[in-house]
Amino acid sequence: MSEEFLSEMRRKWVPIYILVLLSIVFITAHLVLNYIHTKNSMYINWLIPLLFLAMYILFSFSRLLKMKIPVYTYYRVIRCVKCGYEEEGRTEGKTYLFFKEGKCPKCSGDMVVVKIYKKKTLKGIAK
């Protein structure tokens, strides 16, 4: 998912969520006023599922606003085959396990990639 797609989703769905929530508020007010004037329990019976629908829409709306884009950064660990000296850093380009990465700064032995992993960070967008 890209930032453009996320901003397009928000641009499209935020007004819809707001309009639906406002309509639920007006319908709720109408049902409450009708119950007060008529004392008919039918209005309260319709009000309960309407409030559950409002809670579900609020939950979905909050999830849309909190959505973030995962960004992965790849790291590698290289180790000297002679002395065991290790270095850790970001990897660039094509790196694979047991790839020779140069000479050891301590003993001039071969440095070999022993681990490749990724870290995830979440990136939001400006509203």
Q: Can you give the CATH number for the domain in which 77 is found?
A: 3.30.1330.30
The closest of 50, 66, 52, 64 to 16, measured between CA atoms, is 64
In this prediction, residue 72 carries a pLDDT of 83
Same-domain check for residues 53 and 15: yes
Instruction: Write the burial class of residue 28 (CB in 10 Å: 0-12 exposed, 13-18 middle, 19+ buried).
Output: middle
pTM: 0.57
Q: Are residues 47 and 33 in the same domain?
A: yes
Q: Are residues 99 and 47 in the same domain?
A: no
**pLDDT range class, residue 127, cuts 50, 70, 90:** very low
75 and 45 share one domain: no
Residues 28 and 39 in one domain: yes
Domain count across the chain: 2
Q: Is 101 found in the same domain as 49?
A: no
Residue with tokens 């850790």: 88
Q: Are residues 22 and 61 in the same domain?
A: yes
Residue 126 above 80 pLDDT? no
pLDDT digits (tens, 9 = 90+) for 16-31: 999 999 999 999 999 9
- String of DSSP letters for 88-119: EEE--SS--TT-EEEE-TTT--EEEEEEEEEE
pLDDT of residue 125 exceeding 80:
no
Q: Are residues 58 and 77 in the same domain?
A: no
Residue matched to tokens 């070999």: 112
Residue 79 shares a structural domain with residue 117: yes
Please give the pLDDT value at position 60: 94
Which residues constitute the domain of residue 61? 3-67
What mean pLDDT do residues 87-97 have? 85
